[in-house]
Amino acid sequence: MRGSQAPGACFMRECLAMSDREIDQQLVSRAQRGDKVAFELLVNKYERKLQRLLSRLVRDPAEVEDVTQEAFIKAYRALPTFRGESAFYTWLYRIGINTAKNYLTAQGRKAPATVDIDPEDAEAASENELARDSSTPEQEMMSRQVAETVNAAMDALPEELRSAIMLREIEGMSYDEIAAIMNCPIGTVRSRIFRAREAIADQLRPLLGTHKDRRW
């Protein structure tokens, strides 16, 4: 531990040089070692996105909330089995869809057509030697603030930018797939995703105390 820096602050600085998938891998690795705050950050990051996905299967908002919570509980219990063969969000959404289908079956209701999720080839997972940090109020506050800031920045994006980055980062689609869905060239897709990430980074910089030449 260096000086008096909070563990959460150190981790956030490490995240600035990582891709979104690499950040998830770091959080999963820490959660697998018992860091509950790391898993809480993953919940904060993906809860609303998972709810939106599951609302395609379970129509009632209250039921969607319950199924989403159950999916996260199952994901937490299954964390030891996660090996990074797919992106974390793809793995989580599969659990969510299966949870929703099982819920509907138990209610004697038929699930709508399955929501297909096509996982991309997993990036080579890097092994990180991170010390196991205990949860602190400062770490929990930082996690919540970052998650809230990212969600607010996403909601504020123009529709074309928000759609592009959600299809890429939330649905896990390839650039080719996104270009076909949005009916535009791949170069336009890349540009929109880049602009969306920059807009989100602009909102995170004041919170994290970083400079404009650093990426989140």
Q: Do the beta carbons of residue 140 and residue 37 sit within 8 Å? A: yes
pTM of the model: 0.48
pLDDT of residue 80: 92
Give all domains of the chain, ordered by start, each with its CATH number. 1-118 (1.10.1740.10), 157-216 (1.10.10.10)
Encoded tokens for 18: 């990582």
Give the pLDDT of residue 135: 46
The pLDDT tens digits along the chain (216 residues) read: 344 443 344 444 444 445 677 788 888 988 998 888 889 889 988 888 898 888 888 888 899 999 999 999 999 999 999 988 788 988 998 899 889 989 988 888 766 544 444 434 333 332 332 333 334 566 567 667 777 888 888 888 888 898 888 888 777 788 888 898 888 999 999 999 989 888 888 887 776 655 554 433
The rounded distance, in Å, linking the Cα atoms of 37 and 125 is 21
How far is Cα 64 from Cα 42, in angstroms, rounded to an integer? Answer: 18
Cα angle 163, 44, 86; round to 5: 65
Output the CA torsion 13→14→19→21 (10° steps). Answer: -110
Instruction: Give the pLDDT confidence score for residue 192 in this predicted structure.
Output: 92
